Amino acid sequence: MKLQRMNRRALTLGALAVSGALALTACGSDDTGDKSSPSASSAAKAGSIKCDDAKGQLLADGSSAQKNAIDAWVAQFSQACSGVQINYKGQGSGAGVTAFTQGQVAFAGSDSALKPEEIEASKQVCKGGQAVDLPMVGGPIAVGYNLPGVDNLVLDAETLAKIFDGQIKKWDDAAIKKLNPDAKLPSTKIQAFHRSDESGTTDNFTKYLKAAAPSIWGKYAGGKAWEAKDGQSAPQSSGVAAQVKQTAGAIGYFELSYAKDMSTVSIATGASAPVKATVDNATKAIADAKVVGTGKDLALELNYGTKADGAYPIVLVTYEIACDKGNKADTLPATKAFLRYLASTDGQSVLTQNDYAPIPDAIITKVRSTIEGLS
């Protein structure tokens, strides 16, 4: 299933041949659709990857939102560094952070920056150091829906919050009609799906609801675990997307690369026009982010309440989490080589080909510097 999807995502045939032996073991991501055919430029990019002394198996886990990006990166990296076997499970941000602080993986992916207690726990694994947040992947959290005959649904933060809080139960509710006066909205029951596992995607989605609709979502503390009582759940981004695709009247949230072959909500933010979930529109929002981490930690603060024209407000940034000092000697070369590639110009260009947003230059330059200093 993975190899077929990679082929559709503009990966080289050479990369696919190598990754047959080095494939990721997890198979939880959703079908992401067709991309353009392979090209010679892929081989050129693979040739620019520095493997150094990287070899052996590299175990990682975490964010399922970045799983499609990791798949594409692994195919390119494996073509150049055939001595490294990468296994990224993508079981969710919560699982990834737990696996990292327990010393089970070389690095983790999380759609939320580490909490103080998680950084403290990491000191048991990072001997003489601690875990740091390295922003690597950006992108919109799309709100997908399954409502035949309604192709251009518009919602605002308050209406979206009421839907996921169970206060709006049918698609022909007056609040939805007001935002969509020309749509033929059915009286179909709304089936709202959320993540069943601890998820950075949930954390960022609910941060948006708290910031933009505080009168509705302000009663919730927020975090990786879903708190509202209503709705149905599914594991990982791929699971939520699959449920929305097969359930009439469904709505759910997931990273844009999982929204293939379905309609997505445009968000009325107060800007001149509702904003669609696109890579470019997410980049406009991420550009407002501020680095709030200290030392080598590069945790960001996102502006979920933006009203700038063309800025899609429901965004996330996925961090790769590694030890600044105290990485295991047997995995350090492979960890640095892989992360170096992810942060490189070539690595970041892979993101736009796969419906993700690159990290702004001012931030990714700092990421590259931090990676070179990992020890």
pLDDT digits (tens, 9 = 90+) for 232-258: 999 999 999 999 999 999 999 999 989
Interatomic CA distance for residues 267 and 213, integer angstroms = 13
Is the predicted pLDDT of residue 96 greater than 70, yes or no? yes
Q: In degrees to the nearest 10, what's the CA dihedral of 71, 73, 76, 77?
A: -110
Helix (H) or strand (E) holding 345: helix 345-353
Residue 131 token pair: 């875990």
Helix (H) or strand (E) holding 191: strand 191-195
Residue 271 token pair: 């800007």
Interatomic CA distance for residues 6 and 35, integer angstroms = 9
Interatomic CA distance for residues 264 and 79, integer angstroms = 35
Report H helices in 129-229. Answer: 157-164, 174-179, 200-212, 214-217
- The alpha-carbon radius of gyration of the chain (Å, integer) is 20
Nearest to 114 by CA among 232, 203, 227: 203
Interatomic CA distance for residues 266 and 81, integer angstroms = 41
Three-class DSSP category at 174: helix
How high is the mean pLDDT of the chain? Answer: 87
Q: How confident is the model at residue 39 (pLDDT cuts 50, 70, 90)?
A: very low
Q: How confident is the model at residue 52 (pLDDT cuts 50, 70, 90)?
A: confident
More confident residue, 9 or 159: 159
Q: What is the DSSP string of 42-56?
A: HHHHHHT---TT--E
Q: pLDDT by residue (tens digit) across 107-153?
A: 999 999 999 999 999 999 999 999 999 999 999 999 999 999 999 99
- Cα 31-22-101 angle, rounded to 5 deg: 85
Q: How far is CA 164 from CA 189, 216, 239, in A?
A: 13, 10, 17
Query: What's the burial of 40, exposed, middle or buried (CB within 10 Å: 0-12/13-18/19+)?
Result: exposed
Three-class DSSP category at 14: helix
Model pTM score: 0.75
Is residue 244 within 8 A of residue 145, CB to CB? The reply is yes
